[in-house]
Amino acid sequence: MALCAAYAPAANAASKPAKHGHHKSKRKASWKKKGQQGINSERAMEIQQALIRENYLSGEPTGAWDARTQAALVKYQGDHGWQTKVVPDSRALIKLGLGPNYSAELLNGPPKATPAATPSTTASRGIEGTAGKQ
């Protein structure tokens, strides 16, 4: 009879749906835009100046990210064999001279002054304290 009593709860549990620890989220994840959302007027002016220098844009830079600037950058990117869907492309900005500056001074800071050659403390004391025994 003890065998039947032990079996009864298992049969009862089998009628309920099994829980496996995987939960569906009831809450929707918020959608966030990633990356740069717009181009400020200072950056637009730099891009326009570079496009004018490369003869892809004519006139004076306005600082406005307008259709004329976008069209010039799309043409520039296409002429270099790059994608034209996302403007500006990082390769285009680098080629226009507007990308990151990887100069050693900016990465490592200003060069440090090298200290004058001084003897190490071990050399000045002598190895194993033999300097005083001479």
Q: Where are the domains of the chain?
A: 41-108
Residue 101, judged by CB atoms within 10 A of its CB (0-12, 13-18, 19+), counts as exposed
Greater confidence (112 vs 53) lies with 53
**73, 64 contact by CB (below 8 A):** no
pLDDT at site 75: 96
Question: What average pLDDT is seen over the chain?
Answer: 75
Longest Cα separation, the chain: 98
- Checking if the pLDDT of 114 tops 80, the result is no
Question: Region 28-37: what's the mean pLDDT?
Answer: 70
Q: Which pair of tokens denotes residue 14?
A: 């089998």
pLDDT at site 70: 94
**47, 96 contact by CB (below 8 A):** yes
Greater confidence (47 vs 109) lies with 47
* Phi (first) and psi of residue 92, to 5 degrees: -65, -45
